[in-house]
Amino acid sequence: MREHILASEIARVDGTPPLSSTGKHAKMAMSPFVFYRGTAQLFYADLRNGVITRPSELDKIPLTSVVGDCHAANFGFLTEEGSHGDTVIFAPNDFDDACVGRSYWDILRFMTSLHLVYEHCKTPSESICHVEDDVRLKPVINTADVLQAQSAFLDQYVDTCRRVLLAPSVIREAQDTRPDKTPSKLAKLFDKAVARSASGPAFTSKSALARAVQLNDGTLAFRENRSKFTPLSPDNYKNLYTAFAPYMDDNVVDIVQRINAGTGSVNLARYYFLVGPTKPHNETHFASCHIVEVKQQRDAAPLHYFPSLNPVNRLNAAHLTARSQRRMQRNPDLILDEARFEDAHYLIRSRHHAKVGIDPEDIATGKKAVAGGFVYFAELCGYTLALAHCRGDRRSTRFAAASVNYLDRNKNSLVSSANIYANQVIEDYNWFVDTIKSK
């Protein structure tokens, strides 16, 4: 029975049963954590069907905007306002499955991911080991660290809601300074993001723009990189330009198709638009350019099993993502829109010049992680997620008040549920790997 549910849910979202020849499925076979990232729909199926248990009184917390696919790798450092700002913050960085929902969805999903980060790092696959920085030679967190991190995450979430209840202006806060309260790799990653911002010393060499674009014979254009970019036919280029140029804030200089990006959305169409001054170009024009991503959206993962929770969720997939992101971010991207193209809905958003993601190895391996860095990461995520959720209730503090009341007395139950479900994910992953190996 469980195998049938797994196979049908994977086929429903990915359009194919588990196959090693499918790019997304090959990624998911890396570890239980990556499998979890690629199967958000299973989490909501299991919530609906009672596989995941949670205290029923958590439903008394008012609905708010939620991330939807909330896990450890969907937090990181980025510049506010997309490519239009230089303030680096620590925040959720993926809203593809965002909608109006239950806050405990994000809370439980994140806490489960902390357990799976440990599983990912305790037996790393060859694909995540690097000769110059072999994680197999580093100490790794243990199960006690996972429990401590889960509790710290919840404590910080509740404490932040309590602060919002006392002073609603707290929702304008963000982690926008160097996170060095506890030694961890986060400080180094923050510095990397600052250096890559438009005013940073690495902007022209390490920013997302610099890695994607080059100047050749007086023309700025996307680099030739067949592992990431696919050139467009003249007809495709023209159609994309006609459809999306009105949403840009400058001239469209170049367009490519972006491939092999993401995990859960790796099989969805995605395009990059280089936007900036008209040709001819020189080196000074580079700083005036930025990249806008146009990405096909599908329905947020929670909505298949919770379709009638709130009327807002009837918005088309791209509109709902844009709306959710605007509410959850302190200063949203300045280009954040949606459009219909070729019978699909597309999200239009500026790419951050400085976006530094966090891999499991960054937070769960090494002396700093073991000495408290992993727990510190969880605390920052609790703080940041609480702010994002509280921003969905800008007219009152009812959400914050209910969260303090009901979460505070159900912490132990949430920790237990997260770890029980993590073990279920590990079982599911083992079935998945065995299945694709047999085909």
Q: What is the pLDDT of residues 72-90, one digit of tens each?
A: 999 999 999 988 888 999 9
Q: How far apart are CA 359 and CA 71, in angstroms?
A: 11
Q: How far apart are CA 56 and CA 16, in angstroms?
A: 35
Nearest partner of 249 among 48, 118, 83, 66, judged by Cα:
83
pLDDT at 233 over 80: yes
pLDDT at 41 over 60: yes
Q: What is the mean pLDDT of residues 365-375?
A: 96
Q: Under 8 Å CB-to-CB from 103, ≥6 apart: which residues?
A: 61, 64, 66, 389, 399, 403
pLDDT at 170 over 60: yes
Tokens standing for residue 21: 């020849």
- Would you state the pLDDT for residue 234? 96
Name residue, tokens 């700083």.
287
Q: Under 8 Å CB-to-CB from 404, ≥6 apart: which residues?
A: 158, 161, 162, 165
- Would you state the pLDDT for residue 282? 87
- Would you state the pLDDT for residue 131? 39
Q: What is the mean pLDDT of residues 204-208?
A: 91
Tokens standing for residue 358: 């966090």
Q: How far apart are CA 67 and CA 100, in angstroms?
A: 9
Which phi and psi (to 5°) does residue 107 adopt? -65, -50
Q: How far apart are CA 174 and CA 162, in angstroms?
A: 16
Q: What is the mean pLDDT of residues 126-130?
A: 46
- Would you state the pLDDT for residue 262? 60
Q: How far apart are CA 298 and CA 14, in angstroms?
A: 11
Domain definitions of the chain by residue range: 2-197+357-437, 203-355
Which phi and psi (to 5°) does residue 368 adopt? -65, -40
Q: Residue 130 — pLDDT band, cuts 50, 70, 90?
A: very low
Q: How far apart are CA 321 and CA 334, in angstroms?
A: 15
CA neighbours closer than 13 Å in the CB half-sphere of residue 439: 15
pLDDT in tens, 238-288: 999 999 999 999 999 999 999 877 655 556 899 999 999 998 998 889 989
Q: Residue 123 — pLDDT band, cuts 50, 70, 90?
A: confident
Q: Residue 127 — pLDDT band, cuts 50, 70, 90?
A: very low
